[in-house]
Amino acid sequence: MTTAHTKEPETYKKKVAEQTYFCKQLAKRKWQLYKNYCGETGVLFKNKVFSALFIAILFFDIGGFPPSLLMEDVARSSNVKEEEFIMPLISIIGIMTAAGKLLLGILADFKWINTLYLYVATLMIMGLALCAIPFAKSYVTLAILSGIIGFFNGNWSIFPYVTTKTVGIEKLAHAYGILMFFAGLGNSLGPPIV
């Protein structure tokens, strides 16, 4: 009876030792993966174009997303009467976003067009349109600005091209995930700030 009793603690100790060893090896492998991931992320942020891209996407989403939510309120605060509305401004933004995604995506396929410059141009034009909103006092002006904002909001279709040209195809998934984090952060911060 004593031999059976002493075998149980030895078997238990052996299992604990095996599981401890397994957990240590797993932790070492995972730690190495996390260390590699952080190292690759650091290399991405050392790329000046990538850093400018994440700052641009953050500010773009802080300022570019709220107009699609608040354009109707802007029209009401500008004393635009409901009878003047030929089409809801949010519908204009939506239709023009679809058109912008299509046309900007087609433009990005031309070899003679630099997609990074195209993306920067869309950001600048949209920024100017956003700055013009407070000065719009009629439905027609707001509709034109909604169309411009919607069209250039379609720059999402060229964003993967820009990311690929910035970091290369090998790092696309990693870089795109980081950039989408900043895009989501901008989308979350935009409406409360505005």
121-153 pLDDT tens trace: 999 999 899 889 888 888 888 899 999 999 999
Across 14-18, 67-71, 149-153, 176-180, which has the greatest mean pLDDT? 149-153
* CATH (residue range 47-193): 1.20.1250.20
Average pLDDT, the chain: 83
The pTM score is 0.75
Q: Where are the domains of the chain?
A: 1-46, 47-193
46-100 pLDDT tens trace: 888 888 888 888 888 888 878 777 888 888 878 777 777 788 888 899 999 999 9
The pLDDT-based confidence of 101 (bands split at 50, 70, 90) is very high
Burial class (CB in 10 A: 0-12, 13-18, 19+), 10: exposed
